[in-house]
Amino acid sequence: MLIPRFKFKRSRDGEFSWIAESVFEKSGRYRTFFAIGRTLGDVKRFAEIVRRCERTRKIEDLGWPVDALERTGAIQSTWGGNF
């Protein structure tokens, strides 16, 4: 169940000015991924990491690369769903 696409939106609220989100539902299962970032490149990097983990079927490993990105202060993220 690959994530079809992320939506990238500009936000004028606070220090984090970009939003990336993806909500996917199929056959009663859903996944949601959401990140706010300082730059468009930061949230695109988040989307790239999510897609790579999804492609390799290692979604449980998602936390490690995202934690490293969050430690730099570039993004804040949340993800979850009925996996």
Reported as a pLDDT band with limits 50, 70 and 90, residue 66 is confident
How far is the C-alpha of 53 from the C-alpha of 24, rounded, in Å?
15
What residues pair up with 10 in beta bridges, in sequence order? 18
- pLDDT tens, residue by residue, 15-52: 788 999 887 776 777 778 888 888 898 889 888 888 88
Of the two residues 41 and 59, the one the predictor is more confident about is 41
What residues pair up with 79 in beta bridges, in sequence order? 33
Is residue 32 classed exposed, middle or buried when 0-12, 13-18 and 19+ CB atoms within 10 A define those classes?
middle
What is residue 34's predicted lDDT score, i.e. its pLDDT?
Answer: 86
Q: State the average pLDDT over residues 65-75.
A: 76
